[in-house]
Structure 1
Amino acid sequence: MRTKLNFLFLSVTVLAIFGCEQKEKEAPTKQRPNIVFIMSDDHAYQAISAYDDRLINTPNIDRIANEGMRFTNACVTNSICAPSRATILTGKHTHINGKIDNHTPFDTTQVTFPQLFKKAGYQTAMFGKLHFGNSPKGVDEFMILPGQGHYINPDFITKNGDTTITGYVTDIITDLSIKWLDKQRDPDKPFMLAYLHKAPHRPWWPRPDKFREFSKKTFPLPETLFDNYENRGTAAKTAEMNLLTHMQYGHDSKIWPETIEAMGGVEPKVEQLQASVYNEFNRGTEEQKSAYKVILDSINQDFKTRWPSMTDKEKMIWKYQRYMQDYLGSISSVDDNVGRFLDYLDESGLAENTIVVYTSDQGFYLGEHGWFDKRFIYDESFKTPLLIRWPNEIKAGTTNEEMVQNLDFAQTFLEAAQIEAPDDMQGESLMPLLKGQDDQWDREAVYYHYYEYPSVHMVKRHYGIVTKEYKLVHFYYDVDEWELYDRKKDPNEMNNVYNDPEYASVVERLHTELDELRKKYKDSSALDQRYIDIYKNRAK
């Protein structure tokens, strides 16, 4: 009897274990999420109402923050378009991936995260502005703008050759992205979609209805609009991106050349680009040009009437308002289209298992320090918007203050998709932060390096270390100057305290930490000189 009971017990145990093993084998693996990477070009965080609502309301972009996570210390490794994009694609600093500036060719032997997604069974697509190359690697389907692209009736590079599409670029890029999701992708595969806006890149052409609406608006002036750089070094004093003295009358402010000619010239004189208001305007159909011309003529009449009697201060304000009208009008269309895209995700049922990221390739000056453009390590240029929504994974409406970079995007996407990241990627996955596990994040400082000098806007070469509290910067090449900013006490970065005795210990510590970061990321004085030599040889 005992033997029969033992046999029965053993049989039940074996069956139970076997059954458990079968269930483990049959249990489905967690479904891999889709990735939608939305990036605009030169979209300042100050122009997203989730960050600051003084300039514009962006309710649709804000939806991503409200339903996900908003990062307040997201930043870039090199604040200029093509290098930033190369860093995002490769997960490596620009001195490693080779794309140090907008002119140096991208090293096509570099592995990009779309390649890894495609290899892992994802379907991949890219629509909009890439900025370099004409055949993105690892992308099943693409339609990309050549170079900077156009706002009006833009051209696109495709697998089957170039094509031109009639309409406004922001609407078109959204149409292409939604069409691919709705009609062209394989619904049985997870997807990675790069949905990349040209707007609000210079020269800022809003759609005609937005142009009409925003040309009548007046915007608050930035606190530092009339900065004289007295407590900064040579770099800030010599940069060529001042609204009054460097912003183009035609290319930027939309003044007809005939207007300036009829006025007998205007002061201050600004070196004019060959590109004028006509370069974009003449791309329009007669109907499109007619819609724009009414507004352009009104702007020109106001300029012709008021400009000659204005003081320099009044001229600066006039140029600032014109800049904001066009820049923010372009962003308003981006926000509308992001809303249209998010609505499609919701209505199609895709939203539930899709990570949506909204960011920019860097920050941008909106009149702060009297500037437009980017390039500097100073906050308006260095910081970038970053909003991430992931239903059931990211707690809605959360804010994160950790130091994160565009360097981290590739590894984050790969980990979310359960794809192993290459060992030579230099970022850190944001997954602990997305899941609210901030105690597992140990980065205290980030590294920055800008190279494109001498060049347009004349921002000197520099590298630096940034923590939540401080920013230490070294400007080099034709100068040798150091700057230190107390980010808590001086958020506008108006006072360089590098030589202040009270900060001596901070300077000493940050120098050590900067040296360590340069070693960690494999940057060096030898590499600095190598890229200087490459630049000089190219200029010959």
Structure 2
Amino acid sequence: MNKKYLAIILLGFLVFTSCVGNKHADSKQMDLAQIESETQPTTKPNLIFYLADDQDVYDYGCYGNDKVNTAAVDRLAKEGLLFNNAFTAQAICAPSRSQLFTGNYPVKNGCFANHTATRPNIESVTSRMKKLGYEVVLAGKSHVKPATVYQWDKEWEPVPKKDVPRDYIPLDSIENYMKTAKKPFCMFITSKYPHGKYFDVKNPVVNDLKFYPFNEDKKNNKAYIKSRSGYYRSIEEDNTQIEKVLEFVDAHLDENTLFIYSADHGVSGKFTVKDIGLKVPFVVRWPKVIKPGTTSNQLIHYTDVLPTFMNIAGGESAEDMDGNSFLPILQGNNVEVNQYVYGVRTNQNILNSEVFPSRMIRDKRYKYIRNFNSLEVVDQNLTGKPHVDYFIKRGANKYKSEPFEELYDLLNDPFEEHNLAQNPELQSVKEKLKQDLFSWMKSQGDILDETPGNMPIITPKGKKGFKLDQDTPTRKIADSLKNTLTKDDYTVIKHW
């Protein structure tokens, strides 16, 4: 046989045997790659996160309230996936947003009191998503700092609008950007609605509102009815904004666009660790990936959003982030993302300035809360310094109805009306949750620990408006108590 033809035959045989061997060795990788190619778009999708401000999860048509106009969010739920167990860790604005943007819980990222800053060494969404080829945009309310951590490629402030109580999102800038975007983008559209100041509704009608166990006692409260009616009207106004944004998305972007709607926390549970504050609406539309009209009961958290975005962009979440990617759920897999979610309460803020910190741990069924300065343990928290102990006692008395420990069976008591902390049949449940909570707190570098007697009072460096012995916009301090605390009495959070 001709040597040339013999060489060709031999080469073909070697290639064939190599392919057969690799086929068996790499079958798992090939199967996974095939599954991934069937569920993942071939190009990086645009990522849009619309965030409302101070709206209860219970006040949406898709979450069961037929008396409020949330047609745009209801449409998203029909076209996408609705989460029934989505949470933020803190029911106030800045700490809630900082979790979204960093993938870390409030104490760890540093922003665990309102109007305070993220730690300067934290890497945020702006840096992480830019590395993955995205432009990162903020359109609307910011409420996060410092600028060195949050370096948006583009940032547009809310814009004034006549005959409404709050500024609007920058609709023109949003539309123009969507028309002209040249690369994949990650855009946070952050509304100022329905946060008060609310609309002034004339002659409000109580039957136009839906009531729950947490506000049932206010049906005859005229001031509450008027305020709640204005809140409903503000929700409707935000619905108008969302509809405009969806028009832009449908007109200028292709189906390879993921759209998330949420609200930063509940207004009825603000400054608490109850579900009325921490449970949030969370609806996701992603054509060709998410099956329309689906729901998930898996626990997800605001710290999971950035890892998910990074995963979608082709990267992996960083080891120093608390959150986990819920991309598999978006792809139709009913998998557990989190065994627990956690909550933080810090009452020392610009408006509320009482010493009453709390921490929470929750799985799908049970929730444990520790109120570290309850009346039950306040004597153990005293320092022996009369001027300090006055404020510690005042915090305990302000919330005297809240016990040291709370345990709720959320399956049977979703509005947390029946505290089961002393139920003998649930002591093992309580102890497990308690130990897991303390372990998590330690990993977060919490200023609190499990032992009564450690009750730090906190303040930002160099700010008077945050101090216990000064007036705030919501309460006055007696002249005899002003300026009685010294810097040695506080745990100063320097990066604030």
Which of 151, 170, 173 pairs up with 2:170? Answer: 173
Aligned counterpart, 1:450: 345
One-letter code of the match for 2:244?
R
Greater alpha carbon shift after TM alignment, 214-223 vs 96-105: 214-223
Residue 100 of structure 1 contacts residue 452 of structure 1 at CA under 8 Å; is this kept in 2? no
Which of 155, 168, 172 pairs up with 1:142? Answer: 155
Secondary structure of 1:50's match?
Answer: helix
Q: Distance in 1 between matches of 2:419 and 2:353?
A: 20
Aligned counterpart, 2:211: 221
Aligned counterpart, 2:126: 114
Alignment pair present for 1:354 and 2:257? yes
C-alpha change, 1:204 and 1:139, in structure 2 (3 Å) is same
Residue 161 of structure 2 contacts residue 167 of structure 2 at CA under 8 Å; is this kept in 1? no
Which of 391, 405, 420 pairs up with 2:316? Answer: 420
1:254-265 to structure 2, matched below 5 A, reads: none
Displacement of 1:220 after TM fit? 3.3
Secondary structure of 1:356's match?
Answer: strand
Residue 363 of structure 1 contacts residue 382 of structure 1 at CA under 8 Å; is this kept in 2? yes
CA distances 1:31-55 after superposition (whole Å, capped 9, x unpaired): 1111101101112111211112233
Aligned counterpart, 2:25: none
Q: Distance in 1 between matches of 2:441 and 2:295?
A: 29
Aligned counterpart, 1:80: 92
Q: Distance in 2 between matches of 1:319 and 1:455?
A: 25
Aligned counterpart, 1:398: 294
Residue 53 of structure 2 contacts residue 193 of structure 2 at CA under 8 Å; is this kept in 1? yes
By relative contact order (CA 8 Å, sep 6+), the higher-ranking structure is 1
Greater alpha carbon shift after TM alignment, 446-455 vs 197-206: 446-455
1:111-510 to structure 2, matched below 5 A, reads: 111-133=123-145, 135=147, 137-145=150-158, 152=161, 171-183=168-180, 185=181, 187=182, 189-205=183-199, 218-225=208-215, 314=220, 316=221, 318-348=222-252, 350-365=253-268, 374-439=270-335, 441=336, 443-453=338-348, 456-457=351-352, 460-477=356-373, 479=375, 480=377, 481-510=404-433
Q: Distance in 2 between matches of 1:134 and 1:520?
A: 24
Q: Distance in 2 between matches of 1:362 and 1:375?
A: 10
Q: Distance in 2 between matches of 1:198 and 1:323?
A: 17
Aligned counterpart, 1:282: none
CA distances 1:463-506 after superposition (whole Å, capped 9, x unpaired): 01111111110001354411111111222211111112232222
Q: Distance in 2 between matches of 1:144 and 1:60?
A: 23
Q: Distance in 1 between matches of 2:204 and 2:331?
A: 39
Q: Distance in 1 between matches of 2:206 and 2:372?
A: 44
- Give TM-score scaled by structure 1 length: 0.69
C-alpha change, 1:425 and 1:385, in structure 2 (3 Å) is same
Displacement of 1:522 after TM fit? 4.2
Which of 54, 57, 60 pairs up with 2:72? Answer: 60
Alignment pair present for 1:514 and 2:437? yes
Displacement of 1:89 after TM fit? 0.9
Displacement of 1:205 after TM fit? 3.5
Displacement of 1:433 after TM fit? 1.6
CA distances 1:255-288 after superposition (whole Å, capped 9, x unpaired): xxxxxxxxxxxxxxxxxxxxxxxxxxxxxxxxxx
Q: RMSD of the TM alignment (CA)?
A: 3.4
Residue 116 of structure 1 contacts residue 419 of structure 1 at CA under 8 Å; is this kept in 2? no
Q: For structure 1, list consecutive stretches of 5 or more residues without a partner in the other structure.
A: 19-23, 154-165, 228-242, 244-312, 366-372
Aligned counterpart, 2:83: 71
One-letter code of the match for 1:198?
K
Residue 441 of structure 2 contacts residue 449 of structure 2 at CA under 8 Å; is this kept in 1? no
Q: Give aligned pairs, total.
A: 416
C-alpha change, 1:11 and 1:319, in structure 2 (3 Å) is same
Aligned counterpart, 1:45: 57
Secondary structure of 1:395's match?
Answer: coil
Residue 218 of structure 1 contacts residue 321 of structure 1 at CA under 8 Å; is this kept in 2? no
Aligned counterpart, 1:299: none
C-alpha change, 1:382 and 1:137, in structure 2 (3 Å) is closer
Q: Distance in 2 between matches of 1:71 and 1:109?
A: 32
Secondary structure of 2:456's match?
Answer: helix
Q: Distance in 2 between matches of 1:455 and 1:343?
A: 38
CA distances 1:44-89 after superposition (whole Å, capped 9, x unpaired): 1112111122331312112222121111010111111101111111
CA distances 1:167-193 after superposition (whole Å, capped 9, x unpaired): 87565433332222224x3x2x11111
Residue 169 of structure 2 contacts residue 189 of structure 2 at CA under 8 Å; is this kept in 1? no
Displacement of 1:448 after TM fit? 1.2
C-alpha change, 1:485 and 1:119, in structure 2 (3 Å) is same
C-alpha change, 1:172 and 1:498, in structure 2 (3 Å) is closer
Secondary structure of 1:127's match?
Answer: strand
Q: Distance in 2 between matches of 1:215 and 1:42?
A: 22
Residue 65 of structure 1 contacts residue 388 of structure 1 at CA under 8 Å; is this kept in 2? yes
Aligned-pair identity in percent equals 27
C-alpha change, 1:172 and 1:71, in structure 2 (3 Å) is closer
Secondary structure of 2:51's match?
Answer: strand
C-alpha change, 1:531 and 1:129, in structure 2 (3 Å) is farther
Q: Distance in 2 between matches of 1:416 and 1:532?
A: 41
Q: Distance in 1 between matches of 2:407 and 2:154?
A: 46
C-alpha change, 1:29 and 1:226, in structure 2 (3 Å) is closer
Q: For structure 2, list consecutive stretches of 5 or more residues without a partner in the other structure.
A: 20-29, 31-36, 378-403, 468-484, 486-496
The structure that is helix-richer by fraction is: 1
